[in-house]
């Protein structure tokens, strides 16, 4: 399965699709990028006159790239419209703000994938290479 085919199988669409490109994917790791559009609705009310990306959106970006894309890759052709990936847990540390129009890179490493549960160690870096958040994300593929 190609990187574009994986993105096409994601169960999201604009404005809730947070994957621009996958840079690398294999059975143990995925790396992808996303650029935050300054016109996204969540910026309109998140810190008046000084918008920053909400932590829940940063978590979603890490989950879409680091968990869902990797999960689709791991189950390969068994992922279809009747397959779901449900988030089961997150533990994220937020280290730096992410501003409108920033491009981020998400790097995720599989901790384990068994009995339909995928757990990953994830981190997000900004364009300068600074780590902006990190943690673990887990989900069930059903």
Which residues in 48-57 are b (16+ Cβ under 10 Å) and which e? eeebbbbeeb
Superfamily (CATH H level) for 3-141? Hotdog Thioesterase (3.10.129.10)
Q: Are 140 and 117 in contact (CB under 8 A)?
A: yes
Q: Are 85 and 139 in contact (CB under 8 A)?
A: yes
The predicted-structure confidence for 16-43, as pLDDT tens digits, reads as follows 999 999 999 999 999 999 999 999 999 9
53 among known catalytic residues:
no
Q: How confident is the model at residue 80 (pLDDT cuts 50, 70, 90)?
A: low
The predicted-structure confidence for 84-98, as pLDDT tens digits, reads as follows 788 899 999 999 999
Q: Is the pLDDT of residue 81 over 90?
A: no
Average pLDDT (90-117) is 96
Q: Catalytic residue among 9, 29, 46, 117, which? A: 46
pLDDT recorded at residue 79: 65
């Amino acid at each position: 399965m190609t990187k574009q085919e994986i993105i096409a199988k994601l169960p999201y669409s604009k404005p809730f699709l947070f994957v621009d490109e996958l840079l690398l994917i294999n059975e143990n790791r995925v790396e992808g990028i996303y650029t935050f559009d300054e016109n996204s609705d969540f910026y309109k009310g998140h810190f008046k006159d000084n918008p920053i990306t909400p932590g829940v959106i940063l978590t979603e970006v890490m989950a879409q790239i680091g968990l869902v894309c990797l999960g689709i890759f791991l189950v390969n052709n068994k992922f279809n419209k009747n397959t779901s990936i449900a988030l089961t847990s997150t533990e994220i540390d937020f280290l730096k703000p992410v501003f409108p129009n920033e491009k981020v890179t998400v790097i995720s490493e599989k901790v384990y994938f068994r009995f339909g549960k995928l757990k990953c160690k994830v981190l997000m870096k900004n364009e300068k290479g600074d780590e902006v958040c990190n943690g673990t994300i887990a989900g069930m593929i059903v």
